[in-house]
Structures are given as C-alpha cells and as structure tokens.
Amino acid sequence: MSTTENPQNLAHNSAIVLTGPTRGLGPATAVHLARHPSVPTLLLLGRPGPALDKAVDQVRSAGGSPVVPIYLEQSDLASIRQAGEDVVRTLRQESVPLRATVANAGIQTTDLNHVTQDGFELTFGVNVLGTYLLLLELGPHLAAGVRVVLVGSGTADDRRKDGLVPVPRWQDPEVLARPSHSQDADTLAAGRRAYSTSKLGTLYLAHGLARRAAGSYTVDVFDPGMMPGTGLARDASLPQRIGWNLMSPMARGVSGMSTPQCSGLTLAAMALGDHGPSGGRYVHIDHDVEPSPRAFDVDREERLWSVAHRLVGRPAFGKPRDPADAVTDDDSGTRSTTPHELTG
C-alpha cells in the first residue's frame, strides 16, 4: 500500500525526506524542520496508520511547511520500492528539488528470531538493507548539493566499555542477512548485538555511498545518543520497557544521553546545512567525534554494497572511486578510509 498527498501549495524551493517520523527522534526532527524559515516541503515516510496521521498533524501544526505523508514499511522491499517511486513522483510533479534525505527509521529486537517480509533477519533487513534500497530508489535525485544523513548509533563502537549492548560482531553480509540458528539466537544479547552490528553496517553504507558521491552530494552520520523513553525498545519485555522509560528524566544530565528534542534539533540542522560543513562527518548529539577505526574498511564496505544490491534485487547505482585513492594501512593491516576522505 502506498499514498502520496498532494498539498495545494508546494511552491517552496526544496524538499526533505525523513523516514521513521512517528516515534522518538523522528517527530522531534520533523517539527524542527517545519519551523525553519526556509519552509521546506517535508516528505514523511512511515507505516500507514494512526501514528503517521498523528505525526503529520503535529508537524503541520508546528510550522508552515507543506507535509506529504508517504507510506513505507521498511521491512518489506516492495513497500520500499513503492515509497521510493512515490517520492520521485512527488518531486517531479511538484518541481521540488530534493534538499536532503534523513534515514532515521530503525528497529531493535529482543532476539534473532524475527524476519522481514522477504525472509531476511529483521534488524539487518530494516536497518541496513531497507536503508540501502531506499537510497537506491532516490539515486536519480541525489544530485549536487543534496545532503544525506544516516542515523547511526554509539553502539557500533567496539571501544565501548559500558556493557549495555554487546559490541558489533561483523560477519559476511550474506550471513548477517539470514535468520540465525545459533544457540543464543533467542536471547536478548543476540538481539542487541544484531542492532549494534547493523549500526556498524550503517557506517559501512555511509562510506560506500560517499565514495559514489564523488564530491557531488554529501553523506554524514548522526548518533543521537542514548534516548530513554523513545520507542526503540518497543519489542522488549514489559519490565525492560518500563526501566527504559524511567531513565528518561535523567537523559539531560548524563554524558552520552540525550532527548529527542535535543538530538532532533541537531539532526534537523544537519539536514538543512545549518550545523557546519556537510560531508564525511560523524556527529554525536551535538558535536563531531571520531568513529572507531574498525568503522573504516573498504573491503567490508564494498562487499556490503555488492551483496546488498543483489539481495534487494536492484542494480547498484554509481561506482566507487578507486579505493587506492582513499585508503591507508592501519596497524591491523586493514585497508581503511579516513573520515576526511569520505567525499573525495
């Protein structure tokens, strides 16, 4: 199922695509975008239903931006393709150029026993393959000056010592994309590790996309920090959800924690180009940080792109520039890009 709503007036000079607009970071970001003086047209991609309707009403009442709801179920490749077509059709029909794409939709599960409509492991299927396919669908509109912001997570950093979420365990994308039959597949730890691993995959997607941008559009990653009270843990057990929500009042005063309003303000600014130069940045809540060296690996990045475009049944768009022009040898012998080389 898909829909686009044709507002009477889309006579504004740009459009911003935002996925995941119904919970937590998404609606807060959309509200900040709607209040911007440039009044961008907002294309909100989310699951059809009351939550999307509520988000659209909230954004419309917050500012003067035209709002176009587009149905997207990111666990269904057919829905992603249709949503991409709806976005492209809206941009063309209304002669509104794309200004930015914010890939915010994501999921975290309690185990590895859930699958997408197409049979992929749910977390990897939504967070990595779903994001990849949507970028492919929007490829013709990723032109010079467009900003692409992928929402990442600090859980992808293997240097973490907090123990809250297991560090990523990268495997070949063919393995990660399939339901697991390991002995711990039904454990919470496995579900959380799948999430952190998928967010490492988000970084690999960003680096691969940036190489294909060849200095045209820009690609950045935003880590909103830990945001208790949001819907990210909606598939957790009742006690876990209660504990997660009880942490919300402490978010403003604890390092690494944030709120949807605070992080949404930064994410909106990145999409609008109001948060410093765009391209090759990793922003944590409101400041730039250096990702783990493990987040830069050309071989892994290109393998992910190769496998992903085959799994989603779409040809890849663009070609990466020669990795030899943008790699160094780190201490582990891995050929790695550096943050300053992402956009060429």
| Model confidence band, residue 194 (pLDDT cutoffs 50, 70, 90) | very high
Using the predicted structure, report yes or no on whether residue 183 has a pLDDT greater than 60.
Answer: yes
Predicted TM-score (pTM) of this structure: 0.84
| Model confidence band, residue 229 (pLDDT cutoffs 50, 70, 90) | low
Using the predicted structure, report yes or no on whether residue 333 has a pLDDT greater than 90.
Answer: no
Express as a percent the part of the chain with pLDDT over 90.
66
Angle at 22 between CA 20 and CA 23, to 5 degrees: 90
Q: Rounded distance, CA 218 to CA 343, Å? A: 7
328: helix, strand or coil: strand
Using the predicted structure, report yes or no on whether residue 321 has a pLDDT greater than 70.
Answer: no
Residue 319 confidence (pLDDT): 65
Residues 6+ apart with CB under 8 A from 76: 116, 117, 118
Average pLDDT, the chain: 84
Residue 320 confidence (pLDDT): 66
The whole-number average pLDDT for the span 1-23 is: 68
The whole-number average pLDDT for the span 253-259 is: 70
How far, CA to CA in Å, does 56 sit from each of 3, 5, 50, 94, 282?
A: 14, 11, 10, 19, 29
Residue 240 confidence (pLDDT): 58
Using the predicted structure, report yes or no on whether residue 248 has a pLDDT greater than 60.
Answer: no
Residues 6+ apart with CB under 8 A from 147: 99, 100, 101, 217, 218, 220, 270, 271, 273, 278
Pick from 53-57, 134-138, 225-229, 264-268: least confident: 225-229
The pair of three-digit structure tokens given for residue 109, joined into one six-digit string: 């599960």
The whole-number average pLDDT for the span 256-260 is: 84
Q: Rounded distance, CA 39 to CA 272, Å? A: 11
The whole-number average pLDDT for the span 115-122 is: 96
Using the predicted structure, report yes or no on whether residue 198 has a pLDDT greater than 80.
Answer: yes
Question: How many CB atoms are located within 10 Å of the residue 230 CB?
Answer: 21
Using the predicted structure, report yes or no on whether residue 328 has a pLDDT greater than 80.
Answer: no
Using the predicted structure, report yes or no on whether residue 60 has a pLDDT greater than 60.
Answer: yes
Residue 3 confidence (pLDDT): 52
Per mean pLDDT, which of 160-169, 184-193, 228-237 is the most reliable? 184-193
